[in-house]
Amino acid sequence: MRFYLIDRITEVAPAKYVEGLKLISMSDDVFDEHFPGYPVFPGSLILEGLAQMSGLFFEYCLKQEGVTGKRAVLTLVNRMKYRRLVIPGDCLHYRADVKAFYPDAYATVTVKATCEGKRYAEGELFFSFLNDIMDEEMQKTTDRLMTLAFRNARVISEK
């Protein structure tokens, strides 16, 4: 992956939900051209951040269930809506709530991005789990990213 659009995972409840943060900074490369003099963070990158967080979350869940070698791949975006412009200085709070999780096949989540309690984006994402597409190097990269992203996350376990 060339760039990561999630800064950290803050809370995770395996197979239930995940929360994370994306800090929008004027130093983000996208603002060089989107738009000069009026910087706006593109909705497509908000979607990408929500998808990255959700996909990593599902791979984390699979690992917790002892399933290895599967990759979460975004297959469908449904009812994605953008409600406000995101500008430098905003801190987006991402959340994904599991609607369905079938480790052998697919999963769905409802996602939202908020800032200071206001909803900026929301929608529904579908993921398929593919076997045998990760070589050893890709698995190592994914494991490193998972370790970094989840290192300070609050883990909510079932009671």
20 CB-side CA count, 13 A:
27
Active site residue 34: yes
Q: Which residue has the tokens 């929500």?
A: 50
**Of 34, 73, 103, 146, which residue is the catalytic one?**
34
Give the count of beta carbons closer than 10 Å to the beta carbon of residue 67: 14
How far is the C-alpha of 56 from the C-alpha of 149, rounded, in Å? 9
Q: Which residue has the tokens 């079938």?
A: 102
- Report yes or no: 93 and 12 within 8 Å, Cβ to Cβ: no
- Collapse the DSSP code of 146 into the 3-class scheme (helix H, G, I; strand E, B; otherwise coil) and give the result: helix
Residue type at 88 in one-letter notation: P
List active site positions. Answer: 34
